[in-house]
Amino acid sequence: MSRGKSNKDLESLKTEDVVQAVVVADNFSDAFVPMTNDVPSCLLPLVNTCLLDHTLEWLSNAGVQEVFLFCTRQVEKVREHVKNSKWSSEASPLLLNVIVSETCLTLGDAMRDLDAKALIRGDFILVMGDTVANVNLSPILEKHRRLQKTDKGLAMTVVYKYAGPSHPGRAPQDDILVAVDKKTSKILFHQKRVSSPDQKKVHIPMEIIMDLPSIDIYNDLVDTHVSVCSASVLPLFSDNFDFQTCEDFIKGLLMNEEILASSLAAYFLSDSEYAASVNSWPMYRNVTQNMIHRWTYPLVPDMLISDNEKPYQYLKGNVYKQHPVTLSRSSIIQDDCVIGGGSKVGEGSSITRSVVGRNCQIGNGVKIEDSFVWDGCIIEDKCSIIRTVVGCNCIVRQGASLSQGCILGQGVQCPAKFECSQRLQSSPGDEDFERIGDAAYIVKLDDDESDSEDGRAPQIWNELFSNENFDDEVDADSDVSSELSDASDRTMSPVLDDTNLFYNEVVDSLKRGFEDKLHCDNLVLEINSSRYAYNVSMREVNLLVVKAILNLPESDSYLTQLWQMLTYFMPILKNYIKNPVAQIDCLQALKEVAGAESEMLSGVVKFLKVLYDQDILSEELILKWHSDLKTDPESKDLCRVAAPFIKWLEEAEEESEEESE
Amino acid sequence: MVPGEFQAVVLAAGKGSRMTEITAGRPKCLLPIANMPMVWYPLRMLEREGFHDAILVVADTAKSEVQAALEKCNLTMRLDIVALPPGKDDWGTADSLHFISEKIKADVVVVSCDLVSDASLYPALELFRKNEAAVTMLFLKPTEVSPADALPTPGPKSKHKPERDLVGINPDTSRLVLLASVSDFDETLPLSRGLLRKHPHLQLFSRLMDSHIYVLRKWVCKFLDHERSLSTLKGELLPYIVRKQSSKPAQIIEDVSVVSGTIKKDIYQFAEESNIVSKVLPKSIFNDHWGDMKGTFQDDKIRCYAHIADSSSFGMRVNTLQAYACINRQVIQIWEKVTGAHPLIRLHQASEVKSTQVDDSTMVGEMSHLAEKTSFRSSSIGSSCTVLSKTRIANCVIMNNVKINEGCVLNNCILCDGVEVGNNTELKDCLVGEKYAVASGEKHTQEFLAKEDVLMEI
């Protein structure tokens, strides 16, 4: 009997395996240059605590017992940080193993390396070292194991968080679209917007739609970069050496589902749970805000992670002050601020929606808004720092003005009265960066990179602190939605491109018609059909047809040709120009063409005379048009050229009046 | 329901083009289901849901027949039976609706004559009211046929491929975002990002059954009047309106040339919100979505909604031979649900049943005569039929004036009006066309037996 019991104990031990997590200490990108020049990205401070500590704190809270910290860059710094932290103390709830592999350039390399080292035994949790979260991992693990029972090939459960399309927590490089089978939580389709071949449309394979009674398409998810992996994930990476990123992995698995016999599941966080990976400046800003607003509770500024930290005071308006802070009497600290211990703020300075690190010296009359000032900075009097990141131990001299996405790398000395909205670093680097001060060089952006991402990269550099780009995108998109699904849509609002296309088509029709002596009625039909094809408004048709006729004649014998063409195309003109509004369009066309091409000027009188004789243009409108021209300085020439005809018109009018009398 | 809020229109002018074998003799809407004409089922449903009047649109030749058939059915609702004028051959559903446009005074509930369902209309009407919708559709989850129940469809084997709809619904708002036929797409379904931005969560269904119950705003009928090129509701009008939800009104063109003809009024000029809604919306803090700064309903003027009845409700569209055979087998089991406890007349008073072996799911119509020593199982027998002794009939649909002689065995067959079956004949899984005489002693399996002229037409 006792034997049976002990067996049972053994079994329960087996099932309650140690929960293992792999923390990747690198984001394999240069999103945080120049900050990451000598510090690995996971050691960058977020609200005065480094990212890695946030991640480890969460993992230990969430019940992870063993962590493999995978380092690739600046390994010594990570090692040292870990050594001095509470994670390597006796009392640490985590067993922390540091794994080093300096040759890894991608996540795929890291996974392959881990596979080769054969350290992981079963299911594990894969997170990036820059994750801020408060998610309880056990339900996710449970779900993963439950699904594993029915689907032996389940490789990974990806954790997603809901965030609508315009949510600030949705970084452009992480904009994804996922299709899921709700019944089995299986991921069927996954596409990152950045790597999508078609920016306007998403193409979902019919196969996956037809196979199931219903599928759910989510455009309101954010990838938290947290996932639960089965033991098969590492060999999968080894077998497919082209898997570089997590996205490659997901895509490859979905594409070769049968061959690799592996599937993916999705897990959706509830509204009260928080998880985000700080892998770009917009995310850095967003997560900081969320932390100050306490969405990440218990990971909030006044909850101390490290033991030797001084306590924070949490005041109204989400202002956090760490002991000991020296604030002068007339300084103003308001709205969502964190001030680190040992910092001093001078007279008349104001700090709004910003984070200031420890031991910073802020002078008098300084203005800091929407900025991040890291530890040990000295900001002298009358500086203005708006939407800026100031790295550790920077010195900003008197009267400097930093704004709009300016980033100062560690140790930069910004000269006095300097105005800047670029990235600066303290050393000249390998390339010849432009020198601004003793320790201040402008970081040049890598051109190759910006090309490779369709000119998107510079945008990302710029949009760090503004949402403007994002708004533009929305507007551009709403245009797309107007032409929505297909060409059979009959009444589209005219688009500029269509108008141009229509114009070219008209020119072609007329040219061909004139050369082949086609009947004008047929040409009218042709023009009308292209008008419908490109959906051009009637007024634009009038304008463009007249323009086309005026532009047809070659420049060498413009006048004679114009005469021939006018007589030939008269039926067309008569067809389109038949009421006052159309006449105005016609005259407008004349004005535009004459303004652009000097040859036309010689033909103006002829054109007006012919159209007047044919009763296409009315006297009244020509006179009005001319008087309008007089006030327009740009069409001075035209006005002068047309003057004789106008004079003739007026005289003729007087004559006819006299006659009638 | 507020009286006069909705007008019900039952479209029953269809010819049954997917089941021509059995519709040669009578209009589709009068095909018997449990000895009741098919069109009675949707009418009964409307009655059950509280409608007191309905407009019934039928083909020109069928009006008197339909009228006569429905008079026997004890409907309490007032019916206005409209016959489409002769001359034109194929009337689309939108054409039918257009034809009665003068009678349309309110928002319309359009029902097809071939629906047998117990689903409630209320959720769909509720969506329609609540969101000031242009169109609301009702979808049903297809009922799964248990394999034990799955008898083959009578007649020759056909490679019947059901048409499938692709339906996209935003589950948060019930907005109908996408409506298309699966066959419209080859390999991929293109979805515009703008659309996905508006409806970040989209459910795509490929196996829903369209109940063909459409709730249409009055202006949609007006638009239909104007836009005569749309001839069917399902195929053309609805996909068009669904697509129009997300586009913007075109700029108004003031000028007209003679060649281009008159100005085409576009749909947005019809889509006018009622006075009260346009006053309430700007003052209300209600919003149907979150995550952007757009107004309620994303500032869309045209809005389509769809309700999916839960899987417990039954629904079937009897527009194929397969469905017709299926509904006849099933209808007695679900009679209570589908008809709202309408009394079921199994054996008509004026029939003469001498047989002792007639099971509970067999129905016998007026003036029919069943001789002794016969057995009947799960079959429905129309009026004025004669079945002579020593005959066994199982799972059959027998229409009117059929004569079955001695010693026959009929299993899973459909016999149309006026068929005569000779002595000692065995028919299994067969269709017998109108007035056809099956010779004595023959055996047929999975065949379609009909006079030559009918065969030619098919």
Task: List the single range of A429-433, A576-580, B290-294, B429-433 with lowest mean pLDDT.
Answer: A429-433
**Interface contact B195-A525, CB threshold 8 A:** no
pLDDT above 70 for A465: no
Evaluated on CA atoms A345, A346, A347, A349, the torsion sign reads negative
| Residue A653: predicted pLDDT | 66
| Residue A130: predicted pLDDT | 92
- Is B260 part of any domain? no
List the single residue in A218, A485, A542 with the smallest CB-CB distance to B200. Answer: A218
Higher pLDDT, A60 or A167: A60
A310-442: what fold? UDP N-Acetylglucosamine Acyltransferase; domain 1 (2.160.10)
CA distances from A109 to A28, A70, A102, A254, A359 (A): 11, 11, 10, 20, 39
List the single residue in B187, B190, B259 with the smallest CB-CB distance to A524. Answer: B259
**Averaged pLDDT, A2-20:** 57
Residue A447 in 3-state DSSP? helix
Residues B332 and B349 in one domain: no
**Interface contact A217-B201, CB threshold 8 A:** yes
Domain-ending residue, one of B336, B353, B380:
B336
Residues B319 and B349 in one domain: no
DSSP state for residue B171 in the 8-state scheme: T
Chain B positions in Cβ-Cβ contact with residue A572 (cut-off 8 Å): none
Domain-ending residue, one of B336, B366, B397:
B336
Residues B315 and B413 in one domain: no
Residues B110 and B240 in one domain: yes
Give the Cα separation of A404 and A102 in Å (integer): 35
**Interface contact A217-B259, CB threshold 8 A:** no
**Interface contact A209-B189, CB threshold 8 A:** yes
**Interface contact A481-B186, CB threshold 8 A:** no
DSSP string, A553-585: S-STTHHHHHHHHHHHHHHHHHHH--SHHHHHH
pLDDT above 60 for A373: yes
B190 CB near a chain A CB, below 8 Å? yes
Q: How confident is the model at residue A467 (pLDDT cuts 50, 70, 90)?
A: very low
A20-194+206-277: what fold? Spore Coat Polysaccharide Biosynthesis Protein SpsA; Chain A (3.90.550)
**Averaged pLDDT, B240-259:** 66
Give the Cα separation of B37 and A134 in Å (integer): 64
The most confident of the ranges A62-71, A633-642, B223-232 is A62-71
pLDDT digits (tens, 9 = 90+) for B14-23: 888 888 888 8
pLDDT above 80 for B151: no
Q: How confident is the model at residue A657 (pLDDT cuts 50, 70, 90)?
A: low
- Is B256 part of any domain? no
- Is B373 part of any domain? yes
Our count of domains for chain B comes to 2
Strands B201-205 and B165-170: antiparallel
**Interface contact B190-A202, CB threshold 8 A:** yes
User: How many other CB atoms are found less than 10 A from the CB of residue A90?
Assistant: 5
CA distance to partner chain B, nearest, from residue A66 (Å):
37
The CATH number covering residue B328 comes to 3.90.550.10
Q: How confident is the model at residue A452 (pLDDT cuts 50, 70, 90)?
A: very low
Q: What is the ipTM of this complex?
A: 0.86
pLDDT digits (tens, 9 = 90+) for B113-144: 999 999 999 999 999 998 889 999 999 988 76
pLDDT above 60 for A480: no
B249 CB near a chain A CB, below 8 Å? yes
- Is B257 part of any domain? no
- Return mean pLDDT, chain B: 86
- Return mean pLDDT, chain A: 82
Higher pLDDT, B353 or A592: B353
- Is B259 part of any domain? no
B229 CB near a chain A CB, below 8 Å? no
pLDDT digits (tens, 9 = 90+) for A213-222: 999 999 989 9
Residues B15 and B144 in one domain: yes
Tokens coding B185: 């797409």
B299 CB near a chain A CB, below 8 Å? no
Give the residues across from A126 on adjacent strands.
A22, A227
| Residue A16: predicted pLDDT | 56
B161 CB near a chain A CB, below 8 Å? no
Which chain A residue is nearest to residue B241, measuring alpha carbons? A489
Cis amide leading into A324 (omega within 30):
yes
Probe site for chain A from B164, B204, B294 (most A CB atoms < 10 A): B204
| Residue A476: predicted pLDDT | 35
Tokens coding B274: 């009622």
Domain-ending residue, one of B301, B336, B371:
B336
Its domain, for residue B383, covers: 345-456
Strands B414-415 and B397-398: parallel
**Contacting B residues, span 60-119, partner chain A, CB-CB under 8 Å:** none
Residues B353 and B329 in one domain: no
pLDDT above 70 for A490: no
**Contacting B residues, span 366-405, partner chain A, CB-CB under 8 Å:** none
Residues B237 and B143 in one domain: yes
User: How many other CB atoms are found less than 10 A from the CB of residue B55?
Assistant: 21
- Is B1 part of any domain? no
The most confident of the ranges A13-27, A182-196, A349-363 is A349-363
| Residue B385: predicted pLDDT | 93
Would you give the distance in Å from CA B189 to the centre of its chain?
A: 28
Residues B48 and B84 in one domain: yes
**Interface contact A215-B243, CB threshold 8 A:** no
pLDDT above 90 for B86: no
Cis amide leading into A34 (omega within 30):
yes
| Residue A492: predicted pLDDT | 35
**Averaged pLDDT, A489-516:** 69
Which chain A residue is nearest to residue B202, measuring alpha carbons? A217
Of B58, B60, B39, B41, whose CA–CA distance to B49 is shortest? B41
Evaluated on CA atoms B152, B155, B159, B165, the torsion sign reads negative
- B1 contact partners, CB below 8 Å, separation of at least 6: B49, B50, B51, B125
**Interface contact B206-A578, CB threshold 8 A:** no
pLDDT above 50 for A483: no
Which chain A residue is nearest to residue B248, measuring alpha carbons? A482
Domain with CATH 2.160.10.10 in chain A: 310-442
Residues B80 and B209 in one domain: yes
Which chain A residue is nearest to residue B268, measuring alpha carbons? A491
Give the Cα separation of B216 and B7 in Å (integer): 10
pLDDT above 90 for A22: yes
| Residue B420: predicted pLDDT | 92
The CATH label, of 1.10.340.30, 1.25.40.180, 1.10.630.10, 1.10.1240.10, for the domain at A498-659 is 1.25.40.180
CA distance to partner chain B, nearest, from residue A169 (Å):
12
**Contacting B residues, span 311-330, partner chain A, CB-CB under 8 Å:** none
CA distance to partner chain A, nearest, from residue B240 (Å):
8
Share of chain A above pLDDT 90, in %: 38
Contact (Cβ atoms closer than 8 angstroms) between residue A603 and residue A562: yes
Residues B447 and B332 in one domain: no
Residues B444 and B320 in one domain: no
The CATH number covering residue B424 comes to 2.160.10.10
CA distance to partner chain B, nearest, from residue A642 (Å):
28
Tokens 């030619």 found at: B456
**Interface contact B257-A201, CB threshold 8 A:** no
pLDDT above 50 for A459: no
Tokens coding B134: 């242009």
Residues B129 and B243 in one domain: yes
**Interface contact A477-B193, CB threshold 8 A:** yes
Exposed, middle or buried by CB within 10 Å (0-12, 13-18, 19+), for B374?
buried
Chain A positions in Cβ-Cβ contact with residue B205 (cut-off 8 Å): 213-214
pLDDT digits (tens, 9 = 90+) for A548-589: 888 777 766 777 778 888 888 888 888 888 788 888 888 888
Tell me the angle at which helices A580-596 and A619-631 cross, rounded to the nearest 10 degrees. 40
Chain A positions in Cβ-Cβ contact with residue B201 (cut-off 8 Å): 216-220
Chain A positions in Cβ-Cβ contact with residue B171 (cut-off 8 Å): 216
Chain A positions in Cβ-Cβ contact with residue B181 (cut-off 8 Å): none
